[in-house]
Amino acid sequence: MSDHFSTKAVHAGEEKRKPYGALTTPIVQTSTFTFEDTAEILDYMQHKAANDPQVRDEYGRYSNPTQTAVERKIAALESGEQCLLFASGMCAITTAILALLSSGDHIIMVNGIYRRTREFAVSFLPRMKIETTFVPVDDLLALKAAIRSNTRLIFAEIPTNPYLRVFDPEKMVAIARKHNLLTAIDSTFATPVNLRPLELGLDLVIHSATKYLGGHNDLLAGAVIGSSELLTPIKEARGTLGGVSGSHDAYLLLRGLKTLDLRLRRQNENGQRVAEFLEKHPAVQRVYYPGLPSHPDYEIAQRYMTGFGGVVSFDIKGDTEKTSRFIDRLRLPYIGPTLGGVESIAQQQALFISLDAVERRKAGISDNLVRYALGIEDAEDLIADLKQALEGL
């Protein structure tokens, strides 16, 4: 297999010769897998006990051939030993954390993580007597100070949502190794096209595969990638908790991954060009994009990332109502809460968090913030649309 990313995106993880001579990996639409006789059951159990990675399938909650092909492909793209597929990104995050932590443990989370991840840490983990400390994305001293004798895991997101902050991953790894801590990174916004955290020494990479990996806004899935040893308890937890991806979503994800490199290159280009346009426009107060020198983490992003993604966040000069008018004047993007697909999607993020202004401020989201997730449309058309919407305010 070639080491080139685009070739791996097309071919990795799939058998060259597929059932029935099909070009694409089939959707194996079954909840259970049968055995010919008792001897085949015994053979299966022996291979399972030996942790044979080639062990056949038994039941849909544990594995499925379509799902397995996706897992092998994502593992190859992330330079990981193994990948586990889940029903959603949040299912991947929560299952991994629950599998790796026990009652009385402590986790450190870097600020800027997805709000539902934060909610899980604040509302659910305390029920299991697991404490969480949140630290700023750019404060290594605070990270070191937060470490306790019962700390087990550092969890972060790169880049963060929606302000696209980028921490220094190698410095985090150095701190974690000194204290024998695990590290887990939600790399949904970066994708393996722009950053491969495992190659920098991080332990686990997590994706909401619903976003860029799928790329077409037509599936829900999550993925956790890392060493086979570290993923073993997570796999056991997935089988018990039941958050496995269905074969149809796995098939759609497999299809989407084949064009990941092509799509991300266009979205990187669109992100950079749109960010540069917005930063010069008098109706825009501030732009948040790690590909701009004005971004606080520009130098870190330049050092580690090969591209800066298709999400551009920016503040409109004005209040809530003015920002809403801007959103409504846009003609090309859809209005919605997701990102990473071929279609552009814009949102006034505060309104998706709460209709209560106090609650929005608590979440750290300004009322005039726009998160624009750029698709693969032509950059000239996207910029022309932004121009007319801004000038009409």
Q: What is the pLDDT of residues 12-32, one digit of tens each?
A: 999 999 999 999 999 999 999
Torsion angle (degrees, nearest 10) of CA 30, 35, 40, 45: 50
Q: What is the pLDDT of residues 32-63, one digit of tens each?
A: 999 999 999 999 999 888 888 778 899 999 99
- Does residue 1 surpass a pLDDT of 70? no
Q: What is the pLDDT of residues 179-196, one digit of tens each?
A: 999 999 999 999 999 999
State which amino acid sits at residue 105: D
Query: Token pair for residue 299?
Result: 């130098």
Q: Is the dihedral of CA 301, 303, 304, 308 positive or negative?
A: positive
Q: What is the pLDDT of residues 200-219, one digit of tens each?
A: 999 999 999 999 999 999 99
- Do 167 and 137 contact (CB within 8 A), yes or no? yes
Over residues 95-115, the mean pLDDT reads 97
- Does residue 6 surpass a pLDDT of 80? yes
Question: Which residue's entry shows tokens 């969890």?
Answer: 155
Over residues 106-112, the mean pLDDT reads 96
- Do 183 and 230 contact (CB within 8 A), yes or no? no
Q: Measure the CA–CA gap between 293 and 309, rounded to whole angstroms.
A: 15
- Burial class of residue 55, CB neighbours in 10 A (0-12, 13-18, 19+): middle
Portion of the chain with pLDDT greater than 70, in percent: 100
Nearest to 98 by CA among 275, 289, 242: 242
5-28+64-257 is classed CATH 3.40.640.10: yes
Over residues 378-390, the mean pLDDT reads 98
What mean pLDDT value characterizes the chain? 95
- Does residue 316 surpass a pLDDT of 90? yes
- Does residue 266 surpass a pLDDT of 80? yes
Q: Measure the CA–CA gap between 47 and 65, rounded to whole angstroms.
A: 17
pLDDT at res. 328: 97
Q: What is the pLDDT of residues 56-103, one digit of tens each?
A: 899 999 999 999 999 999 999 999 999 999 999 999 999 999 999 999
In sequence order, what are the beta bridge partners of 183?
154
φ, ψ of residue 71 to 5 degrees: the values are -60, -40
Q: Measure the CA–CA gap between 153 and 266, rounded to whole angstroms.
A: 35
Q: What is the pLDDT of residues 329-382, one digit of tens each?
A: 999 999 999 999 999 999 998 888 877 777 777 778 889 999 999 999 999 999
pLDDT at res. 3: 82
- Do 57 and 33 contact (CB within 8 A), yes or no? yes
B/e letters for 127-159, b = 16+ CB within 10 Å, e = fewer, are eeebebbbbebbeeebbeebbeeebbbbbbbbb
Global pTM reads 0.95
The residues that are catalytic are: 61, 114, 186, 211
Which sequence spans correspond to the domains of the chain? 5-28+64-257, 260-391
pLDDT at res. 354: 75
As a residue count, the chain comes to 393
Over residues 136-158, the mean pLDDT reads 97
Over residues 276-281, the mean pLDDT reads 98
Q: Measure the CA–CA gap between 247 and 66, rounded to whole angstroms.
A: 6
pLDDT at res. 53: 73
φ, ψ of residue 147 to 5 degrees: the values are -70, 130
Estimate the crossing angle of helix 379-391 against helix 260-280, to 10 degrees: 30
As assigned by CATH, the class of the 260-391 domain is alpha beta
- Does residue 393 surpass a pLDDT of 90? no
